[in-house]
Structure formats: structure tokens, C-alpha cells
Amino acid sequence: MATVNMHEAKTHLSALVARAERGEEVVIANAGTPRVRLVPVQPLRRAFGRVAMDVPGDFDDELPDEELAEWE
């Protein structure tokens, strides 16, 4: 587990986020007292009715012209 102070966290935030994304526990301390822990965000699952399923991020994007023509 890595513990860094506030100043170091502000200076190296991108690197600390990358470490947390790789699974390393990163704790940010203030005056030596642990205050927060960086953790990666879990992907959100959207539910349609009673069935939970993964919905692509481009689900509601406009269809390409070729595919739209097939629906007509």
C-alpha cells in the first residue's frame, strides 16, 4: 500500500490514479494522517426491466447511413 501526502498527491495525481487503476491501494494523507483511498470506479450496469445487462456506450448514437438504409 502506498501512502502519499497531499502535496505529493497534487503533484503526481495522474501517476497515482494509474497505480490505483492497476490495483495498487493508494492512500492520501494529511500531516501523516490517512484521509482518503484511491480506488478505480467499477463499470456501471444499466438495467432494462428486470434484466441487468451491459449496454454499450454508443447505444443511443445515430445509426450509420448504410445500416439506416437497411431498416427502410
The answer to whether the beta carbons of residues 49 and 59 sit under 8 Å apart is: no
Mean per-residue pLDDT, 1-27: 93
pTM: 0.56
For residue 27, name the pLDDT band (cuts at 50, 70, 90): very high
Q: What is the pLDDT of residue 30?
A: 95
Would you kindly state where each structural domain of the chain is located, as residue ranges? 2-61
The CATH fold of domain 2-61: YefM-like fold (3.40.1620)
For 39-60, how does the pLDDT look when each residue is reduced to its tens digit (9 = 90+)?
Answer: 888 877 766 677 777 888 888 8
